[in-house]
Amino acid sequence: MIGKGILKGMVETARNMVGSFHDPERMVTVEYPEQKIPAKESARNFPMLIFDGDDWESGLRCVSCQICEKECPPQCIYIEKDTEKKPDFLGKPQFKPKVFDIDISVCMSCQICVEVCPFESIRMNREFEYAGENRFSRLILHKEDLAKSNTYYHDIHPTEATETDGVREQKRQDHLAKERAKAEKAAQAKKSCC
Amino acid sequence: MNLVFAIIALITLASAIAAMCLRNLVHCVLCLTVTFTGIAMTYLQLSAQFVGFSQIMVYVGAVSVLVIFALLMTRGGNELNLRDWNPRHWLIGLGTGLLTFGVMATGIFKSSLTRSAAPDSKTESVKTIGESLLNEYVLPLEALALLLTVALIGAALLAMPERKTASSPHSDRPQTKGDPTN
Amino acid sequence: MWFEDLLISLKQQIVMIAPEHFRPVFSAMLSTIPILSAFGGLFAVITLVERKMLGRIQNRYGPNRVGPGGIFQPIADGIKMLTKEDIIPFSANQFLHLIAPLLLLVTAMLGLAVIPFGHKLVAVEFEAGILFFFAIGGAAELAVFIAGWASRNKYALLGSLRAIAQMISYEIPLVLSSVAVLMAAGSLSLPEVVEAQAGGIQSWYIWTPWGFLGCILFLIATLAEVNRSPFDIPEAESELIAGHMTEYSGFKYAIFFLAEFVAMFAMCALTATLFLGGFHAPLPILDFIPGPFWLFAKLILLVLLFIWIRGTMPRLRADQLMEFAWKFMLPMSVMNLVTTGVWISLGGGVFAWVVGAVMNAGAYFGWSRLLSQSSRVKPRVYRYAEETKANV
């Protein structure tokens, strides 16, 4: 019968419409910004600087070695070293960065800065809500915007954070072992000289 | 002379004159449409509802669109060139117009239309029109229907694509049925 | 009854305020303003209902940001349309560019004048009311042409010619399906057609065999006349941008939109009047609910049916559309007329009903089978280029 296809189609759409009210499977809309799709663990957007503890200035892991600034392909990182040295988590005195700027209109999220950082301090963030009021605002992220705590890092990338913590713990143990070996040798030398 | 009739007559005459005088043919057709509407309003003022609405339906709805289509399908949509007209044409046109007007006016005034009284609007209803169409005037009605059918068939025949005959240039080539190794 | 009498006495009281000479004009204004404001408000509501219903059909929410559940969306849409810049092409005909949407709106709204909303609630009582409706609908095609031609745009002109061709082709089945109703009711005036269906749901014309087919044909032709899906080639975005409405922006586009919806409402109201009993209640005991309420309920049901069809079917191609009108709907509506004649001459009882149903069903199935046979696909023939001395 001509028109049978149309009637079957209309029954299908009616079923869709009525079902959308009581069947949660049918409505696949995620109403942003009230609801968000949970991000995957390896999602990345722009870099962030990790700090340990509560105070972001003193706990900042970055020692402004400027390796990431040199390795960044579009050269979007700008670092200025501080004038006086402060001790890091191993006790060694290091220069902290006075200015650490990333231009996120240039950054291409290639993660090379993360791969080359020897101090496990720059990692990839996944925040994307960076809208500003005019055309050029909020395009440069400064040190205070980039500093995120280690607990935040654990929240967004748990496996990576645990791994990084393991690496840092290993470094601390190595440093302590070296210190102990040096102290023993100094004690040995003192004993042998006296 | 009614005020409403004066306004309707003014609109009709003005648009008819504009339909003759304008340069762009499409503007002329649109003014002609206004003329048709003016005539329909005259019919309605005389309470001839059937004729008035049929006038709108046929003339404004169909004939205007037909003229516009014919205009656009040929070259008439472009601006006309009025640079080469002769002053003599003006006199000939005026003479012809006066002659036609004289003949029509004489015909109307000498006929019985101006002497008989206007018919009562109550008796001329759609029902009486229908009855007279199917009783008295059934032969013209059927002849008109035949004419319209012939016109429709003719239009369909004119618009039909050419049927491919056996002597068309491609039909005597060997036709393979999807053999890629040929 | 009480509602209509109340309204008429109210109007007669208000008319007495005006001085003697202006009373006819004032009375006409008093009839017109409620109708126009009711349909204007209905237009705003139906745009929102359409978007939400289409969204639900497509497994998503409609607009739900502007108010609770999105109910202020029409206001937001109205503000957007009114504050947009009115861009007119430099070489377009300014006067015609302006009056084309106005003419379309006027013809759409004039159609509302002859629809009986209640027992004595007709804005203008014509003896040939339905002829007035179709005549004014014919004038709408002219407005579409003016819109396309005044834009000085080749593609707008082509789009408007296509739209006119569509509207003309579907006008014949529209008028012929309604002629069946006029044959049965015996008059061209719409209040009399409604009176002939008085008495409850069993006397509506849609239950008769010719009324059923006639109503379906009338609804399909209505969809094509108002350029609505699946016949919306003139206004679809992938077809010549917007056809005759390409060069319009802002308020004029809003007027085109409004005119299309008001024309849809007018034709749905006419369908309800011709086939669904107009302002009569389905059961005589529900007669205390006023007539306009029933008419608007039927109108809204038909509009929901149109939205349902829009969400279901894909768009028809231009040649499929014309083929459907001339090859299928025109013969079916003529056959419908023959069935109506047979039904009336057999008196309208059970025997007439059976004969009419057999004739209509036979015509429908037989004709559709005949049409689908002629378009059977022929086997595909491949012709390969041969390497001759000429093209090596």
Per-residue pLDDT of chain C (392 residues; tens, 9 = 90+): 788 888 888 888 888 887 888 888 888 888 899 999 999 999 999 999 999 999 989 888 888 888 888 899 999 999 998 898 888 888 888 888 999 999 999 999 999 999 999 888 888 888 888 999 999 988 898 899 898 888 888 888 888 888 898 999 999 999 999 999 999 988 888 999 999 888 778 888 888 899 999 999 999 999 999 888 788 877 776 665 667 777 888 888 899 889 999 999 999 999 999 999 888 888 888 878 888 899 999 999 999 999 999 989 888 888 888 989 999 999 999 999 999 999 999 987 889 999 999 999 999 999 988 888 776 677 777 878 777 776 66
Residue A166 maps to a domain: no
Chain B positions with Cβ closer than 8 Å to C: 26, 30, 33, 49-50, 53-54, 56-57, 60-62, 64-65, 68-69, 72, 125-126, 170, 173, 175-178, 182
Q: What is the CATH number of the domain that holds A95?
A: 3.30.70.3270
C142 and B72: CB-CB below 8 Å? no
| C381 → chain B, closest CA residue | B177
Sign of the CA dihedral B152, B155, B157, B162?
Answer: negative
* Whether C309 contacts chain A with CB within 8 A: yes
* A126 or B74, which is more confident: A126
Q: Is B65:C141 a contact under the CB 8 Å cutoff?
A: yes
B57 and C131: CB-CB below 8 Å? yes
* Whether A15 contacts chain C with CB within 8 A: no
* Whether C371 contacts chain B with CB within 8 A: no
Residue C124: predicted pLDDT: 86
Q: How far apart are alpha carbons C130 and C121 in whole angstroms?
A: 16
Residue A82 maps to a domain: yes
C309: how many CB neighbours lie within 10 A of its CB? 19
Q: Closest approach of chain A CAs to the CA of C59, in angstroms?
A: 5
pLDDT(B171) > 50: no
B56 and C136: CB-CB below 8 Å? yes
| B122 → chain C, closest CA residue | C127
What does the block give as tokens for B169?
Answer: 């240039």
* Whether C168 contacts chain B with CB within 8 A: yes
* A132 or C263, which is more confident: C263
Q: Kindly report, residue by residue over A64-86, the tens digit of the pLDDT.
A: 889 999 999 999 999 998 888 77
Chain A residues closer than 8 Å to C56 by CB: 16-17, 20-21
Residue B164: predicted pLDDT: 60
B61 and C141: CB-CB below 8 Å? yes
* C 58-87 → A contacts, CB under 8 A: 58-61
Sign of the CA dihedral C335, C336, C342, C345?
Answer: negative
pLDDT(B79) > 60: no
* pLDDT over 70 percentage in chain B: 76
Q: Closest approach of chain C CAs to the CA of B171, in angstroms?
A: 11
Q: Is A98:A82 a contact under the CB 8 Å cutoff?
A: yes
H or E stretch covering B101: helix B87-110
Closest CB from C137, C187, C382 relative to B177: C382
Residue B172: predicted pLDDT: 45
Chain C residues closer than 8 Å to A10 by CB: 308-309, 312
CB–CB contacts below 8 A, A to C: 41
SS3 A59: coil
| Greatest CA separation for chain B | 92
Residue A37 maps to a domain: no
| A23 → chain C, closest CA residue | C59
- Which residues does residue B10 pair with via DSSP β-bridges, in sequence order? none
Q: How far apart are alpha carbons A89 and C85 in whole angstroms?
A: 63
Q: B: neighbours with 3+ CB pairs under 8 Å?
A: C
Residue C13: predicted pLDDT: 84
Q: A: neighbours with 3+ CB pairs under 8 Å?
A: C
SS3 A51: strand
- Average pLDDT estimate for A168-174: 91
A27 and C61: CB-CB below 8 Å? yes
Q: Closest approach of chain C CAs to the CA of B143, in angstroms?
A: 19
SS3 C235: helix
A27 and C57: CB-CB below 8 Å? no
- pTM: predicted TM-score of the whole model, two decimal places: 0.84
DSSP code of B121? T
Query: What does the domain layout of chain C look like in residue ranges?
Result: 2-370
Query: What does the domain layout of chain B look like in residue ranges?
Result: 1-80, 124-159
| B83 pLDDT tier (thresholds 50, 70, 90) | low
Sign of the CA dihedral A71, A74, A76, A82?
Answer: positive
Q: Mark whether B and A touch (3+ CB pairs within 8 Å).
A: no
Burial of residue B180 (CB within 10 Å: 0-12, 13-18, 19+) is: exposed
SS3 C104: helix
Average pLDDT, chain B: 81
B56 and C139: CB-CB below 8 Å? yes
Closest CB from A6, A20, A31 relative to C56: A20
Residue C69: predicted pLDDT: 84
Residue A29: predicted pLDDT: 84
* Total number of domains constituting chain A: 1
Q: Kindly list the distances between the CA atom of residue C373 and the CA atoms of B138, C334, C369, C376, C384, in Å, as whole numbers in the listed order.
A: 38, 21, 6, 6, 30
* Nearest CA among C121, C105, C102, C104 for reference residue C113: C121
* Whether A13 contacts chain C with CB within 8 A: yes
* Whether C313 contacts chain A with CB within 8 A: yes
Q: What CA dihedral angle connects C346, C347, C352 and C353, to 10 degrees?
A: 160
- Which residues does residue A149 pair with via DSSP β-bridges, in sequence order? A51
A9 and C313: CB-CB below 8 Å? yes
Residue C332: predicted pLDDT: 93
The C-alpha angle C309, C243, C52, rounded to 5 degrees, equals 35
The answer regarding whether domain B1-80 maps to CATH 3.90.1150.10 reads no
* C201 or A140, which is more confident: A140
* Whether C22 contacts chain A with CB within 8 A: no
Between strands A47-51 and A147-149, the pairing is: parallel
Residue A134 maps to a domain: yes
Q: How far apart are alpha carbons A125 and A103 in whole angstroms?
A: 14
- Average pLDDT estimate for B60-81: 78
* Nearest CA among A27, A35, A30 for reference residue C57: A27
A13 and C365: CB-CB below 8 Å? no
* Whether C370 contacts chain A with CB within 8 A: no
* Whether A17 contacts chain C with CB within 8 A: yes
* C348 or B57, which is more confident: B57
| B175 pLDDT tier (thresholds 50, 70, 90) | very low
Chain A residues closer than 8 Å to C360 by CB: none
DSSP code of A60? B
Chain B residues closer than 8 Å to C149 by CB: 26
Chain C residues closer than 8 Å to A1 by CB: 365, 368
Strand order across the beta sheet in which A47-51 lies: A122-124, A47-51, A147-149
Residue C242: predicted pLDDT: 65
B72 and C157: CB-CB below 8 Å? yes
Q: Is B125:B47 a contact under the CB 8 Å cutoff?
A: no
| B170 pLDDT tier (thresholds 50, 70, 90) | very low
| B170 → chain C, closest CA residue | C383
Residue A136 maps to a domain: yes
C61 and A16: CB-CB below 8 Å? no
Closest CB from C60, C308, C368 relative to A13: C308
Q: C: neighbours with 3+ CB pairs under 8 Å?
A: A, B
Please tell me whether the peptide bond between C230 and the residue prior to it is cis, using omega within 30 degrees of 0. yes
Render A160-185 in DSSP notation, one character per residue.
HHHHHHHHHHHHHHHHHHHHHHHHHH
Structural domain for A72, as ranges = 47-149
* pLDDT over 90 percentage in chain A: 45
C127 and B178: CB-CB below 8 Å? no
* C 290-329 → B contacts, CB under 8 A: none
